[in-house]
Amino acid sequence: MAQRNDELRDNAPSGPIETAWDRHRFDMKLVNPANKRKFDVIVVGTGLAGGAAAATLGELGYNVKAFCYQDSPRRAHSIAAQGGINAAKNYQGDGDSIYRLFYDTVKGGDYRSRERNVYRLAQISVDIIDQCAAQGVPFAREYGGTLTNRSFGGAQVSRTFYARGQTGQQLLLGAYQALERQINAGTVKMYPRTEMLELIVVDGRARGIVTRDMVTGKVEAHLAHAVILGTGGYGNVFYLSTNAKGCNVTASWRAHRKGAFFANPCYTQIHPTCIPVSGDHQSKLTLMSESLRNDGRVWVPKKKEDTGKKPSQIPEADRDYYLERKYPAFGNLVPRDIASRNAKDVCDEGRGVGPGGLGVYLDFADAIERLGKKAIEERYGNLFEMYERITDEDPYEVPMRIYPAVHYTMGGLWVDYNLMSNLPGLFVIGEANFSDHGANRLGASALMQGLADGYFVVPYTLGNYLWSERTDQKPVAADHPEVKKAVADVEARTTKLLSINGKRSVDSFHRELGKLMWDKCGMARNEAGLKEALARIPALRAEFWENLRVPGTGAELNQSLEKAGRVADFLELAELFAKDALHRRESAGGHFREESQTPEGEALRDDENFSYVAAWEFNGVGEEPTLHKEQLDFEYVKLTQRSYK
């Protein structure tokens, strides 16, 4: 692959990290209140990041247009986050601090994130809680009326704020309500059921988007002074994931094709406690909060022959509590990636349980005996109910069956400290960017990053860009050649998808791609498997463009057509994903290369050769992308090898 020497610059302020964001805010240009309404800003995606950004920019007085594919911004997939949101408030007085949250996040990301971004995230975390509480988000409370916290995902301090098991829902509704208030005030114009299908770039700057109205099919260009993408992650490249069915990479991928670099696509988070696949009809996977591992014991039969037996018929001596056996110090509470990989290993050995042998038991019998059924019901009642609804098995009587599933993608479009991509005027926030989680995200940190970017970072950095560039930004005419070309491209692509008239449905291609990605680019990756994926993806993509069948027309609500456009982009992303995974010959966080492990089977980093962000430049479909590197320097955090023995 081609490599360039011009290294990417993060544009982060130098000097002491503690004051970097303060100094940067002072150094940035401000837009006078009376001038803000002269700037048009497009926000694509209205989840925690996009919704918060659109609302805040509207409050500031910018002229905002916001877009989402859902029928309402209240439905973005941020809504499904269960566990909570981290913040370094130290309300519990248990030793937390901004510095500790910063340190834990960099370490948890296996030292593949940018220190200065993460420090800012930890600083802002405290403001988020204030903002959300003021909006009326019904966080859990102590009897005295103060906010309560819990420890989450193995953290040694209690810094997680929550609203029952629906924290994402409540935070999203807070942002949604703030957004609706601005829509009412006329500062934000909302376009629901509208999908971005192209980015408009004029004179090297992002100046607009092309959208398709998903009800009428109307294709339209929208122009602005800047474009913000808050369009989420790309976990659905695996077909089966915990993402919503509509989650897609299209906005990011269209921007990538127009020049925005895609960073670290191979960093994927696989969540260990999901409900296993029950059959070929399976359309998505459901996550169960990992708090279940606090009381549940994970096991499989010692002998393959026992996997068909009822769990109650397998005596204690014939059970393998493999996490407790291999990791006596952490037991069932080992980090997500280790729990996931070990589940895969025992299933690969043929000791998995349930349909297809793809499941392990999560057993609450001991906890029920120790604490009583009532205590378990209080802690996990809603989760047990959800499990029973889906599987028809009562987890109070029969052990749960769980299996890992794709949950979150740490990779995304490359951004600098200002959350701006290498394309001037294109900002990327939330899960859609690659920034703060390195190679692995800590539990309860996704909500924190989405809201930090949307409420507190991009409103400042966008203003700086708009004012600094104002004289260079000429008005773009609606019939500018780039605008016309982008619209024509979208229309041509839609026509093409509708006219192939082949034999296979979109879903059949998506399933096949997903299975290939899961088998070869899933929990554990190796050179041979990745090379096989790289051979098979282009072939599948070629078949897609020859043998796809999309019924209906483009001038109506056509869900097959929507899916077809998204799967077409996944088929291109998948190849870059596999390339990135192949090139990163080390293991780091959510990326496990079988060739790079410690004697104990832990992920083994190669800091000397891979302590960088891999940002890929698009050179055409099927063409070799160009690798740009952003070196990661660690001034504050000491690099160590993880060990959970």
Residue 72 found at the interface with another protein (CB under 8 A): yes
What residues are paired with 433 via a beta bridge?
A: 413
Distance CA 539, CA 463 (A): 45
| Side chain identity, residue 336 | R
Cβ neighbours around 499 below 10 Å, total: 9
CB of 503 to another protein, least distance (A): 8
Q: Which stretch binds another protein (CB under 8 A): 54-62, 97-105, 487-495, 576-584?
A: 54-62
Token pair, residue 401, equals 């069956």
Q: Which stretch binds another protein (CB under 8 A): 182-190, 340-348, 427-435, 569-577?
A: 182-190
CB of 472 to another protein, least distance (A): 29
Give the nearer residue to another protein in terms of CB position, either 282 or 626.
282
Residue 142 found at the interface with another protein (CB under 8 A): yes
Residue 56 found at the interface with another protein (CB under 8 A): yes
Token pair, residue 182, equals 């601005």
Q: Can you give 291-326 as a three-state secondary structure string? A: HHHHCCEEEEECCHHHHHCCHHHCCHHHEECHHHHH
CB of 280 to another protein, least distance (A): 8
Residue 218 found at the interface with another protein (CB under 8 A): no
Residue 245 found at the interface with another protein (CB under 8 A): yes
Q: Quick one: which of 7, 130, 318, 348 contacts another protein (CB under 8 A)?
A: 130
Q: What distances in angstroms separate CA 235 from CA 114, 286, 442, one per listed residue?
A: 23, 13, 17
Residue 642 found at the interface with another protein (CB under 8 A): no
Residue 124 found at the interface with another protein (CB under 8 A): no
DSSP β-ladder status, 40-44 and 226-229 = parallel
Give the nearer residue to another protein in terms of CB position, either 11 or 72.
72
Comparing C-alpha atoms, which of 425, 459, 444 is closest to residue 258? 425
Residue 92 found at the interface with another protein (CB under 8 A): no
Token pair, residue 247, equals 């989650």
Query: For residues 614 and 263, is the Cβ–Cβ distance under 8 A?
Result: yes
Residue 304 found at the interface with another protein (CB under 8 A): no
Residue 500 found at the interface with another protein (CB under 8 A): no
List the catalytic residue out of 75, 114, 297, 336: 336
Residues 6+ apart with CB under 8 A from 555: 216, 217
| Side chain identity, residue 423 | L
Distance CA 389, CA 385 (A): 6
Give the nearer residue to another protein in terms of CB position, either 382 or 597.
382
Return the sign of the alpha-carbon dihedral for residues 54, 55, 57, 62: positive
Q: Interface residues for another protein in 143-162 (CB under 8 A)?
A: 143-147
Q: Which stretch binds another protein (CB under 8 A): 24-32, 168-176, 398-406, 611-619?
A: 168-176
Residue 41 found at the interface with another protein (CB under 8 A): no
CB of 183 to another protein, least distance (A): 6
Q: What is the dihedral of CA 109, 113, 116, 122, to 10 degrees?
A: -30
Q: Quick one: which of 560, 597, 626, 634 contacts another protein (CB under 8 A)?
A: 560
Q: Quick one: which of 23, 37, 141, 370 contacts another protein (CB under 8 A)?
A: 141
Residue 67 found at the interface with another protein (CB under 8 A): no
Q: Quick one: which of 7, 18, 22, 71 contacts another protein (CB under 8 A)?
A: 71
Distance CA 627, CA 635 (A): 25
Residue 281 found at the interface with another protein (CB under 8 A): yes
Distance CA 336, CA 271 (A): 6
CB of 36 to another protein, least distance (A): 13
Q: How far is CA 629 from the centre of its chain?
A: 22
Q: Can you give 35-78 as a three-state secondary structure string? A: HHCCCEEEEECCCHHHHHHHHHHHHHCCEEEEECCCCCHHHCHH
The angle formed by the CA atoms of residues 36, 41 and 43, to the nearest 5 degrees, is 140
Q: Interface residues for another protein in 246-265 (CB under 8 A)?
A: 246
Q: Quick one: which of 94, 472, 556, 594 contacts another protein (CB under 8 A)?
A: 556
The angle formed by the CA atoms of residues 448, 262 and 476, to the nearest 5 degrees, is 95
CB of 335 to another protein, least distance (A): 24
**First-last CA distance in the chain:** 39
CB of 56 to another protein, least distance (A): 4
Comparing C-alpha atoms, which of 237, 110, 3 is closest to residue 591? 110
Residue 475 found at the interface with another protein (CB under 8 A): no
Residues 6+ apart with CB under 8 A from 255: 199, 206, 229, 413, 421, 423, 426, 428
Is 319 designated active site? no
CB of 578 to another protein, least distance (A): 27
In terms of phi and psi (left: phi > 0; alpha: psi -120 to 50; beta: otherwise), the region of 145 is left
Distance CA 200, CA 486 (A): 6
Residue 131 found at the interface with another protein (CB under 8 A): yes
Q: Quick one: which of 35, 92, 97, 135 contacts another protein (CB under 8 A)?
A: 135
Measured in degrees and rounded to the nearest 5, phi and psi for residue 532 equal -65, -45
Distance CA 442, CA 394 (A): 30
CB of 244 to another protein, least distance (A): 4
Residue 279 found at the interface with another protein (CB under 8 A): yes
Q: Which stretch binds another protein (CB under 8 A): 16-24, 103-111, 198-206, 549-557?
A: 549-557
Q: Which stretch binds another protein (CB under 8 A): 134-142, 312-320, 364-372, 476-484?
A: 134-142
Residue 375 found at the interface with another protein (CB under 8 A): no
Q: Which stretch binds another protein (CB under 8 A): 166-174, 397-405, 424-432, 519-527?
A: 166-174
Residue 401 found at the interface with another protein (CB under 8 A): no
Q: Quick one: which of 184, 313, 471, 499 contacts another protein (CB under 8 A)?
A: 184
Q: Interface residues for another protein in 436-455 (CB under 8 A)?
A: 455
Catalytic residues: 336
